[in-house]
Amino acid sequence: MLTSKLEVLVDFGPKLDQNVLDKTLKMLKSQDGVQEAIFKDGAIMLETTLPSTQVLEMVTLTSGKRAVLQGFGDTQSAVSMVSSQSCCGGEVLGVVRFQQTPDGFLIADGCLDGLTPGSHGLHIHEVGDISQGCKSIGGHYNPLNAVHGAPADPGHARHAGDLGNIVADDTGRATFRIVDNILKVWDIIGRSVAVTERRDDLGRGSSPESRVNGDSGNPVACGIIARSAGVFQNPKRICACDGVVVWDEKDRPLAGKGRREDTEKRCCKTENVKPCCRV
């Protein structure tokens, strides 16, 4: 099975606790699906078939420290921050990462919260425009003008953007890792990814909508796909220009209320210089 390379930053503080690091690496190496786990250049580097969210949860639980994903994939990568806040009145929120593998496959790795329990369709859409929420992202990405189908179907019998279904558990969380042999990262950057309200029937249903969108209903959340950093391609170890440290960015909105909460408490102060947070 195809592996992904992950670069995980762990908030070990100003002095590395070697015992905690060794414990964390030992735990990772014991997991089915982890082929390699080493500490390199201040980060844990893994080669794994596990979803990145699952890896981060294991690292956080074992080390007792905060962890963030700093790099994903060792070739071309992309990411989408998926949200329903701009379109659908719900509370779906999460991230989907994409990696182009050397073998030509695309890996879609994600975690979405706030879904209703059960299956939901996941699709790449034509347009990276969320000015009207998910109403302005266009139809499924479909360069061959094919009918809607399943991810396992040949390219002429499916939309390129058909990624099948993800499954939300009883808490509303869907954690997934999809390997696709049709999509390429360079073809989807600038487009959108969306999750739908219902299960995708993969074009096998009797409804007229089955061959259009799998009768999966309207999107409940979506996001624009942008290029992202692969392993050791992001040197960021200090806070952003607004004073939010790398450890806190994943728990903050991108802008507006709540972005800079308690920043002053965590940042050093230098005369005539903006706050600078050190990791």
**10-residue mean pLDDT series, the chain (279 residues):** 90 92 97 95 93 96 93 86 69 93 93 96 96 94 96 95 97 96 95 97 95 95 88 52 43 48 44 37
What pLDDT is recorded for position 102?
Answer: 87
Nearest to 41 by CA among 235, 229, 228: 235
Nearest to 79 by CA among 245, 235, 191: 191
What pLDDT is recorded for position 109?
Answer: 96
> What is the phi-psi region of residue 243: left when phi exceeds 0, alpha when psi lies from -120 to 50, beta otherwise?
left
What pLDDT is recorded for position 241?
Answer: 39
Nearest to 73 by CA among 222, 185, 182: 185
3-state secondary structure (DSSP) of residue 7: strand
What pLDDT is recorded for position 251?
Answer: 52
Nearest to 198 by CA among 209, 187, 182, 184: 209
What pLDDT is recorded for position 264?
Answer: 43
Helices (H), 88-207: 185-188
pTM of the model: 0.81
- Looking up tokens 């329903």 gives 84
What pLDDT is recorded for position 76?
Answer: 85
Q: Could you tell me the two tokens for 212? A: 């259009």
What pLDDT is recorded for position 273?
Answer: 39
Domains and CATH numbers, the chain: 4-72 (3.30.70.100), 77-228 (2.60.40.200), 246-276 (no CATH)
What pLDDT is recorded for position 14?
Answer: 87
Measured CA to CA, the distance from residue 96 to residue 164 in angstroms comes to: 14
